[in-house]
Amino acid sequence: MTKQNDMERLKDQMERGLITAAEANVQKVRNERFLLVTHLPRDVRSALNAAVRAGTLGHIKKEHLKPEVYFHPTFEYLAVAARNEYYRRAIRNLRSMFVINE
């Protein structure tokens, strides 16, 4: 319920012209604490990267099967844990696809 309220609040602020879409995307990541990224539109990515340069968000680059992640600086540990869980799930799925009979 809180996530829905946050989204409605951001949409309302955008409609009233208080914030831009870029600022709404940054605020969404801050509200959700982190965002695992596999595919992202260019304009959203550039807004998030600008927030990283400004120090509003943190960023960890993609590494092998681990996805890229944007995060609220206070919650870096949650972003790292979610990223590692994604990696473990990817490995488990790959292992289930390539079962070797001995």
Q: Which of 30, 36, 22 is nearest to 6 (CA)?
A: 30
Output the pLDDT for position 96. Answer: 86
* Domain contains 21: yes
99: pLDDT strictly greater than 80: no
In our burial notation (b when 16+ CB lie closer than 10 A, e otherwise), range 50-63 reads ebeeeebbbebeee
Q: In terms of residue numbers, what domain contains 81?
A: 2-97
Write out pLDDT tens, residues 70-90.
999 999 999 999 999 999 999
* Domain contains 56: yes
Residue 8 sits in a domain of what CATH number? 1.10.10
Output the pLDDT for position 58. Answer: 96
As a whole number of angstroms, the distance between CA 85 and CA 80 comes to 9
* Domain contains 102: no
Residue ranges in the chain assigned as alpha helix (H):
2-15, 21-32, 42-54, 76-97
